[in-house]
Amino acid sequence: MEVPDVKQSWPNSINEVTIGATKEGGGTRSHAITVGGTRTLPFLYFEGNIPHRPVIAMEVWDIAPTDWPEELGKYFSDVWDDPGKWAKKCVDEFEADFICLRLQGCDPDGENKGSHEAAQAVERVLKSVAVPLIIWGCGNDEKDNEIFPACSQTAAGERCLLGTITEDNYKTLVALCKADKHKLIAESPVDINIAKQVNVLATDIGLAPEDIVIYPSTGALGYGMEYVYSIMERGRIAGLSGDKMWAMPLLADIGREVWKVKEAIAPEEEVPGWGDHIQRGPLWETITGLVYLQAGTDIFIMWHPKAVKELKKYIDSLMKKNSRKN
Amino acid sequence: MALTGLQIYKLLPKTNCGDCNLPTCMAFAMQVAAKKVSLDQCPHVSEEAKAQLAEASAPPMKLVSIGSDENKLEIGQETVLFRHKEKFYHPTGVAILVEDALANDELDKEINSINRLKFTRVGEEIGINLVALQHKSTSAEDYAKLAEKITEKTSFPLILVCQNLSIIKSALEAIADKRPLIYSANRENFDKMASLAKQYNCPLAVSVESQEELVDLTQSIKKIGVDDLVLNPGIKKTGDTLENLTKLRRLAVEKVFRPLGYPTIVFTNEEDPFQEVIQASTYVCKYANIVVVKAKDTWQLLPLLTVRQNIYTDPQVPNAVEPKLYEIGAVTPDSPVIVTTNFSLTYFTVESEVGNSKVPTYISVVETEGMGVLNAYAGDKWSAEKIAKTLEQQKVREKVNHNTIIIPGLVAVFRAELIDEFGWNILVGPEEAARIPSFLKNEWKPAGKK
């Protein structure tokens, strides 16, 4: 009996987005990273090629965190007084594909650092490591609009991935991105329509769709992950089916979400029967990443070296040899 | 795949006799298609038509049940590729692999640790579902004894992992009434395995590498009279298994390809404890109906079972917790009271942050029909008046000896009205749950004693 063919053919492919510029590209990075380009659902090689490997950025702050769990302090507390050293450790020791610098120190509710200091942190990281860079603001719209011009200019030509723009706040970053040749992270609050709307707004004022990565918010495993999972699946199917405003690579901000939930942090004394938290924490982060990988995520931002290592190992095992490596 | 009204009409006598209480056969057919009336309502319909309709309306993937009592596991009967299209119905069964070569006291230890593999999350108990007894070296008699022992000491149905007929037969003689899953029929043994499955009325797994062979085997086994089948597409690398599971699910639910319209079983083959959980979690997301793991540590099973819980959550039902006054930690009359919505995600995020703060706290959950803070506000699902009413019903005035209520920062607008309605001080909390710990430690101060 003949078995029916279940291969699906998709009319559209996901945009390729390149982050980081080498000397030839007008920057100083040792290499660039390209994500996207696929014309199939995750890892279905019988259906289409997956030209670029999903990548993992490790997170670095412009200040020493006071609320990171001890399990992470163990790896980073010797370097987190200096974002440059911190980034270098992530790249040299923990083999991060690239770095996400989060300008947490600029948060007006926190240390409230100014644009000059933010730009200095960007410069420190750019000088300390040669990999491409994500620059993520403090999350306060007004403050981000104030600090990003200096940061963007400091990194002009480096083709960084800047974030984030939202439905209500996108004009400043879009202008900077166009002027200084960066890429943008478009954020939306677990909402498939708003995710699209941000892209419509940004492209309406001249941003190229190929300069956008979609960040539909992230929930940790056990904390609303399935909502984001389904939005990513729906969105990716829409993108492959021809919706140009959903044909962008996807980003998941894993570390920040995972390392505040008790499943990742609580020692066994506090949660009897949950097992060793030294293993459980990084595994929680790894598995959160894995599930988003299955929904189509192209870029991961992660915290724990072991989680990064394990997810990378798994991604490598899924990548076929004919695909180009980043 | 259900038949259309027109297809059903063709199976009817087309006499418009009205005996079904509908004016025409066509009207009747439409009602049957809409599942509003049953085909039995027509006294004249032929047996052949009934059989055809039953066949056509059978679910595209068979429901298979393993085990005998209240702990039986039902798998299969899935209808979609993506949870957002409808939902996933029968959560992936997680089976723990146990080898028969264990000494007696080791087995007891193993059984004890297996019995501990359950957790409570989001108010729901999640646990493993099956024990897979792998035959390696024991005699038929000892294997049967082991199977018996496991069914006595645990409540989990068994998977008998053994290709040897006489050993399987010996185990079935001992525990067939518990309806274990026989793993597995293959190219060489399928007719005899199927006969055993039939004789003892047990479900049977079918294991071959290629889809074409799988079709041949399921067809042959069905002819022998066994239809409670579970498919194993071979034990391969994660990527290959992912593709195979995807193809099988698409064949079953999209193509309604009956010869492969059965649930699936896969085994992990990663040795590393992290990679094994990664592999198993992949199969939970993408289409395994049973996944057999070697992992037995709680720190491995908790994330795996949480993946299953998340993926199998019904996306159509608003995820809500019971609206009541929750006590987090060792609360006293001095503890703060935080108001939030009954959207599960909101509630559990707040609960988690309150837990992190280590400040014992009351969380007053208001019925908002499963909507989050802002959605509920925009949709008029909660108001100052409703919060005040809820606080009264939950007897908050009697529980604490201060008179301060903390409301979410996103609905600071409720403050003035809530002061009027409830008469207490209203403290506006943070907009982000992540700030709750610092808020409770630094900013929360009882604004006055009664």
Smallest CA-to-CA distance from B84 within B313, B319, B369, B250 is with B313
Tokens of B71: 């702990």
Q: What digits encode the pLDDT tens for the residues B152-165?
A: 999 999 999 999 99
Tokens 């056509």 label which residue?
A: B56
Q: What digits encode the pLDDT tens for the residues A216-266?
A: 999 999 988 999 999 999 999 999 999 999 999 999 999 999 998 889 998
Contacts of B251 in chain A (CB under 8 A): 3-4, 6
Helix residue ranges, H only, B154-258: 165-175, 190-200, 211-224, 238-249
B343 phi and psi angles, rounded to 5 deg: -65, 120
* Interchain CB distance below 8 Å, A280 and B352: no
CA B93 to chain A, closest CA, distance in angstroms equals 18
Contacts of A110 in chain B (CB under 8 A): none
- Residue of higher predicted confidence among B343 and B317: B343
* Interchain CB distance below 8 Å, A291 and B212: no
* A287: pLDDT strictly greater than 60: yes
* Interchain CB distance below 8 Å, B255 and A4: yes
ipTM value for the complex: 0.97
B215 touches chain A (CB under 8 A): yes
Q: List strand residue ranges (DSSP E) for chain A, in order.
A: 16-19, 33-36, 55-61, 98-102, 133-136, 161-165, 183-187, 212-215, 250-253, 297-302
Instruction: State the best of A294, A312, A320, A321 to mutate against chain B, taking most chain B CBs within 10 Å.
Output: A294
Q: Which residues contact A34 (CB under 8 A, 6 or more apart)?
A: A16, A17, A18, A19, A52, A326
Tokens of A202: 């940004």
Query: Which amino acid type is present at position B186?
Result: N
What is the count of residue pairs from A and B with beta carbons less than 8 Å apart?
A: 146
Percent of chain B with pLDDT over 70: 98
Model confidence at B435, pLDDT cuts 50, 70, 90, reads confident
* B55: pLDDT strictly greater than 80: no
CA B374 to chain A, closest CA, distance in angstroms equals 12
Model confidence at B447, pLDDT cuts 50, 70, 90, reads low
- β-bridge partners, A36: A16
Q: What digits encode the pLDDT tens for the residues B198-220?
A: 999 999 999 998 999 999 999 99
Mean pLDDT over residues B439-444, rounded?
88
Q: List strand residue ranges (DSSP E) for B54-180, in order.
A: 63-66, 73-76, 93-99, 118-121, 124-127, 130-134, 158-161
* B273: pLDDT strictly greater than 50: yes
On the 0-12 / 13-18 / 19+ scale of CB atoms within 10 A, B449 is: exposed
* Interchain CB distance below 8 Å, A262 and B352: yes
Mean pLDDT over residues B397-410, rounded?
94
Mean pLDDT over residues B10-33, rounded?
89
3-state class (DSSP) for residue B428:
strand
What pLDDT is recorded for position B446?
58
Model confidence at A321, pLDDT cuts 50, 70, 90, reads low
Q: What digits encode the pLDDT tens for the residues A48-60?
A: 989 999 999 999 9
CA A178 to chain B, closest CA, distance in angstroms equals 32
Q: What digits encode the pLDDT tens for the residues B345-363?
A: 789 889 888 988 889 999 9
CA A264 to chain B, closest CA, distance in angstroms equals 10
Instruction: State the best of B299, B431, B435 to mutate against chain A, taking most chain A CBs within 10 Å.
Output: B299
Q: What digits encode the pLDDT tens for the residues A72-92?
A: 999 999 999 999 999 999 999
Tokens of B171: 């185990």
* Interchain CB distance below 8 Å, B83 and A284: no
Contacts of A224 in chain B (CB under 8 A): 345, 349
Angle (CA) B164-B170-B174 rounded to 5° is 140
Tokens of B101: 């070569």
